[in-house]
Amino acid sequence: MNTADLQSNLLVRMALMAWDAQNNQFKKVINSLLDDQLMKEISPGRNSGVYLLGHLIAVSDAMLPLLGWGDRLYPELEGLFITTPDKSGQSMPSVKELKEKLKTVNDALAIHIQAATVEEWLSKHNSVSTEDFAKEPHRNKLNVVVSRTNHMANHIGQLLLLS
Amino acid sequence: MNTADLQSNLLVRMALMAWDAQNNQFKKVINSLLDDQLMKEISPGRNSGVYLLGHLIAVSDAMLPLLGWGDRLYPELEGLFITTPDKSGQSMPSVKELKEKLKTVNDALAIHIQAATVEEWLSKHNSVSTEDFAKEPHRNKLNVVVSRTNHMANHIGQLLLLS
């Protein structure tokens, strides 16, 4: 492998390490909280911990089709945790069930993440057109991971307020 | 430029775009809040908005020496916003003054960020030893930016609770 190839590999790995770091931090925060704490709002009148847990699972699950890696595992979470705000009167899965779904989604993503080459990471994701991608090559699969990493960091900062 | 060089350039640019996106979001949130709102706590008993504003400026300022780009511009912010928690009885700069410092720090960083080559980004930062860096080449200058991007996203999630 030449120097530039080594550089590309390292740069991809750094983005994936950042994704893993946030996912590990997310699990750590979730597992440090009692179910009762997770049911509370992060700040008066704001989202509950369990809503943010479900929201982050649903967003990760939606990465599967976006990255061309198959269908979502739990499409029903979109209505509960993405398109509908917290406290809309819908019944939510239990914390235990959500934690299991989190693990299943993360395991499914990890298989594809580990297998992807630099070329795949730099190929277009499924919500950008071929024409737009030709002009904006940063709208690739790895950038979905980068953007979801920051989104997760956003909500981890909020979940930390429950502890 | 060959394909692998183009890939490395694109990958570096993606990390820098993520940094810029968080910085723009940070400024947007800060500027959307009245000074009175910024003085409030993000959640009862937690950090105030103004403390988080100062904290993020101090952390960005400390990137200058860490990345080998010169001394911090406002070393006095470390004691106020990094090593000391909020509500320690120290007098803080005003919101107006902090916003000016934020701009000055960001402008200083931007000059170096725009000038840095892929090789510089992948070189070691100043808080890792040459020996450790040889074993862990991801501990480079760009990774400081990636990690600070996620740190900023963390606190932006909290600042959003003030609006």
pLDDT tens digits for range B124-160: 999 999 999 999 999 999 999 999 999 999 999 999 9
Query: How would residue B66 be classed by pLDDT, with cut points 50, 70 and 90?
Result: very high
**Interface probe, candidates B10, B11, B13, chain A, greatest A C-beta count within 10 A:** B11
The encoded tokens of residue B12 equal 């570096």
- pLDDT, residue A9, reads 96
Chain A contact for B11 (CB, 8 A cutoff): yes
Query: Between B90 and A132, whose confidence is greater?
Result: A132
Query: Between B29 and B89, whose confidence is greater?
Result: B29
To the nearest whole percent, how much of chain A has pLDDT over 70? 100
Contacts of A151 in chain B (CB under 8 A): 153
Contact A150 B18 (CB under 8 A): yes
Give, in degrees to the nearest 5, the angle at Cα A48 between A21 and B26: 55
| Mean pLDDT, chain B, integer | 96
Of B14, B137, B158, the CB nearest to A138: B14
Strands of chain B (E only): list them.
none
Chain A contact for B157 (CB, 8 A cutoff): yes
- Put residue B123 in one of left, alpha, beta given phi > 0 → left and psi -120 to 50 → alpha: beta
What is the tally of helices (H) and strands (E) in chain B? 9, 0
| pLDDT single digits (tens) B140-150 | 999 999 999 99
Report the distance separating Cα B28 and Cα B32, nearest Å.
Answer: 6
What is the tally of helices (H) and strands (E) in chain A? 9, 0
Q: Are B86 and B47 in contact (CB under 8 A)?
A: yes
Q: What is the mean pLDDT of residues A73-97?
A: 95
Q: What is the torsional sign of CA A123, A127, A130, A136?
A: negative
B93 vs B60, B85, B104, CA distance in Å?
17, 15, 15
Q: What is the mean pLDDT of residues A120-135?
A: 97
Report the distance separating Cα A72 and Cα A80, nearest Å.
Answer: 14
Nearest-Cα distance to chain A for B113, in Å, is 17
- pLDDT, residue A1, reads 73
| pLDDT single digits (tens) A12-64 | 999 999 999 999 999 999 999 999 999 999 999 999 999 999 999 999 999 99
Predicted TM-score (pTM) of this structure: 0.97
Chain B contact for A87 (CB, 8 A cutoff): no
Phi (first) and psi of residue A124, to 5 degrees: -75, 145
Contact A155 B150 (CB under 8 A): no
* Closest C-alpha to A123, from A113, A134, A109, A107: A134
Q: Are B153 and A154 in contact (CB under 8 A)?
A: yes
Query: How would residue B1 be classed by pLDDT, with cut points 50, 70 and 90?
Result: confident
Would you give the DSSP letter of residue A111? Answer: H
The encoded tokens of residue B76 equal 């006095």
- pLDDT, residue A83, reads 95
Contacts of A22 in chain B (CB under 8 A): 150
A18 vs A52, A124, B142, CA distance in Å?
20, 21, 12
- pLDDT, residue B2, reads 82
Chain B contact for A135 (CB, 8 A cutoff): no
Polymer length in residues for chain A: 163
A25 vs A15, A31, A109, A149, B48, CA distance in Å?
15, 10, 17, 11, 23
Contacts of A47 in chain B (CB under 8 A): none
